[in-house]
Amino acid sequence: KTQPGWVAVEDFLTATVVHPDDALRRAVSSAVDAGMPPIEVTPNAGKLLKLLVQISGARRVLEIGTLAGFSSIWMAQGLPDGGRLVTCEYLTKHAEVARANVAAAGLADKVEVRVGAALETLAALHAEGQEPFDFVFIDADKEHDADYLEWAVRLGRPGTTIVLDNAVWEGAVLDPSMDDVNAPGIIQALQLLGNHPQLEGTVIQTVGSKGWDGFALARVR
């Protein structure tokens, strides 16, 4: 079966424009070696996250869903000196692989991987009275997307940037029977985004090696 043209174009754009470094390539290959699912963002999306961190001037980033740390490393590479990224991961094995990748990228002083169910980690961050996060990337279990969006508002401040991945899910947002585990959570999050008094957002559709998908971009009012 021939690849769709957009996969070849993605490869061309990654090689021509995006230029992931050795640490980022290691994060992807280590996940494959550890038998983890290849569900990290694409390199062009990872670079977009880095650029959004830089353009927004974020110093404190919160990530929900670490995997092997590929998107964590992209975003941490966009942080200024003294910047911090906290990333939430449910599985100990994933967190260990991610910590090794973060250390290999020279970012161990900036990145903290917290293990546990994200809803519990987020409540703990709130209870600790952490400084507000300037940028939040949501990419974990889609069932809880709406809860994560609410937490992003609560742990953020006016002006916080939020990116929510997998907002189109092969079109399942129009036909939840395509995936009755994930689609209802994504739809609920999009409805919340569209109606939330403290959020203003949009959704960009994407195609590439991860198929037909998209991401929501939002700002806390």
Task: Give the residue, chosen from 26, 62, 102, 139, that forms a contact with ligand SAM under the rule CB under 6 A.
Answer: 139
Task: Give the residue, chosen from 94, 99, 196, 210, that forms a contact with ligand SAM under the rule CB under 6 A.
Answer: 94
Q: Which amino acid is at 162?
A: I
Q: Does residue 67 bind ligand SAM (CB under 6 A)? A: yes
Give min distance, CB of 39 to ligand SAM, in A: 4
Contacts of 133 (CB under 8 A, 6+ apart): 60, 61, 62, 86, 152, 155, 156, 160
Instruction: Determine the length of the chain.
Output: 221
Cα–Cα distance for residue pair 27/106, rounded to 1 Å: 13
SS3 201: strand
Site string for ligand SAM, 192-221 (x = CB under 6 A): ------------------------------
5: which 2 tokens? Answer: 């043209």
Task: Give the residue, chosen from 71, 77, 101, 161, that forms a contact with ligand SAM under the rule CB under 6 A.
Answer: 71
SS3 81: coil
Cα–Cα distance for residue pair 107/109, rounded to 1 Å: 5
Q: Which stretch binds ligand SAM (CB under 6 A): 1-9, 82-90, 167-175, 210-218?
A: 82-90
| Nearer residue to ligand SAM within complex by CB, 141 or 198 | 141
Task: Give the residue, chosen from 60, 70, 84, 122, that forms a contact with ligand SAM under the rule CB under 6 A.
Answer: 70
SS3 106: coil
Residues that bind ligand SAM (CB under 6 A): 39-41, 65-67, 70-71, 88-91, 94, 117-118, 139-141
